[in-house]
Amino acid sequence: MTKASPHLSLEELLAHADGTAEPADPHLDRCPACRAELDAWRAVAPAVRDSAPAAQPHPRVLRGVLDAIDGPRRVRRRGPAVLSWVAAAAALVAIAGYVLLPRTASAPVEEAFDAQRVAAMGLLATECESLQVAAGSLRVVDGSRLVVRTAGGKDIRVDVAPTAKVTRQIAGTVADLVPGMSVLVRGEGSRAGDTLAAGSVLVAPAKLKPPRLPGGMGLGITAMLAGHGIAMGTVSQIRDGAFTVTGADGGKVKVTTSASTTLVRQSAARLTDLTTGKYTTVVGTLQGDGTLQARTVQQDTLTDGDKPSRPEGLKPPGGLPKPPGMKDPFSGLGCDADAIAGTALNGTPI
């Protein structure tokens, strides 16, 4: 169906059936035809997913890949490989160091129209067509409406339905940590990347995932990141203010804290709890009237202004090749609004 048609397009119906489109389109309330179509797809969607439950490949597959990468080509590839890992680590630091990279002009052609509109409004596109991101300084809170001003000076109007998820960071102490929590720790890392003196600890609401890498295989990336002052992963072995962080590649970093170590965690909030002037990210669906219908709102209570701060000591790499996919910080997050909002808030996929 074309845009001129009042009915929902197939793509919109599928997004609704898949649960990735929210809120309900008012057209659905008054159009029995579209509602019937939607019901038909809603009957199909779970059956498809359940007919072959998501299977995870055996760990031997990953081992096989890593062996093949590391194996016969090791001697020949060592030089360039080391260089590329240095580039990768530097790129990771750039991402973890709060660098947000909006989608560039090389977006797919079929998305060009919407992408242009989204970019012109100061919104960031995601790989989920129905989700856009507003990130910037919270200017106005008025009932269920917000205004977010982006770093580029664009004001974005946001509508927050009662069902939207609103969180903000609140201060805690290291004593709040319990085993199993996902954290992002910043501080001074040892050269070997096995220990880290924490300056700040961020408790993530979801499992932390480090940014993607060229080719995707993060060998020793936890130690490499720790060497750059960052530890991302799961907390264990908490004792006397020290704890261990285990990264996605299984690497472990011993983290020590001091009286000056800060800890923040994301906590459920009401809109009236949000503070104007603070860095806020909204993930939602762009409406025809130019408002963003929010699914998730997250506020960084520690940072003022229109963009997140970059931790001291972290500088983006200069002159190094960017790994593929880096231009899109939300790549691989699909339609997970919380993960996208967290990525925009922290500059790191969480």
Site track 240-269 with other proteins (rule: CB under 8 A), x = hit: --------xx--------------------
* Least CB distance to other proteins at residue 327 (A): 7
136: left (phi over 0), alpha (psi -120 to 50) or beta: left
Q: Would you count residue 81 as binding other proteins (CB under 8 A)? A: no
* Least CB distance to other proteins at residue 260 (A): 31
Out of 199, 211, 308, 329, point to the residue binding other proteins (CB under 8 A).
211
* Least CB distance to other proteins at residue 147 (A): 30
Out of 41, 236, 254, 320, point to the residue binding other proteins (CB under 8 A).
41
Out of 2, 106, 163, 272, point to the residue binding other proteins (CB under 8 A).
106
* Least CB distance to other proteins at residue 160 (A): 24
Q: Return the structure tokens found at 105.
A: 């002009």
Query: What is the distance between the alpha carbons of residues 234 and 38, in angstroms, rounded to a whole number?
Result: 40
* Least CB distance to other proteins at residue 30 (A): 14
Q: Would you count residue 43 as binding other proteins (CB under 8 A)? A: yes
Q: Which is nearer to other proteins, 32 or 79 (CB)?
A: 32
Query: What is the distance between the alpha carbons of residues 144 and 272, in angstroms, rounded to a whole number?
Result: 9
Out of 21, 34, 183, 255, point to the residue binding other proteins (CB under 8 A).
34
Q: Binders of other proteins among 46-75, rule CB under 8 A?
A: 46-52, 54-58, 60-62, 64-65, 68-69
Q: Which is nearer to other proteins, 117 or 278 (CB)?
A: 117
Q: Which is nearer to other proteins, 4 or 48 (CB)?
A: 48
Q: Write a three-state SS string for the chain.
A: CCCCCCCCCHHHHHHHHHCCCCCCCHHHHHCHHHHHHHHHHHHHHHHHHHHCCCCCCCHHHHHHHHHHHHCCCHHHHHHHHHHHHHHHHHHHHHHHCCCCCCCCCCCCHHHHHHHHHHHHCCCEECCCCCCEEEEEEEEEEECCEEEEEECCCCEEEEEEEEEEEEEEEEEECHHHCCCCCEEEEEEEECCCCCEEEEEEEEEECCCCCCCCCHHHCCCCHHHHHHHCCEEEEEEEEEECCEEEEECCCCCEEEEECCCCCEEEEEEECCHHHCCCCEEEEEEEEECCCCCEEEEEEEEEEEEECCCCCCCCCCCCCCCCCCCCCCCCCCCCCCCCHHHHHHHHHHCCCC
Site track 119-138 with other proteins (rule: CB under 8 A), x = hit: --------xxx---------
Site size for other proteins (CB under 8 A): 69
Q: Binders of other proteins among 304-333, rule CB under 8 A?
A: 323-325, 327-328, 331-332
Segment interacting with other proteins (CB under 8 A) among 104-112, 142-150, 161-169, 283-291: 104-112
Out of 241, 305, 316, 334, point to the residue binding other proteins (CB under 8 A).
334
Exposure b/e, 243-267, CB count within 10 A at least 16 = b = bbbbbebebbbebebeeebbbbbbb
Q: Which is nearer to other proteins, 160 or 245 (CB)?
A: 245
| Residues binding other proteins (CB under 8 A) | 7, 10-11, 14, 17-18, 20, 32-37, 39-41, 43-52, 54-58, 60-62, 64-65, 68-69, 106, 108-111, 127-129, 209-218, 221, 248-249, 323-325, 327-328, 331-332, 334-335, 349
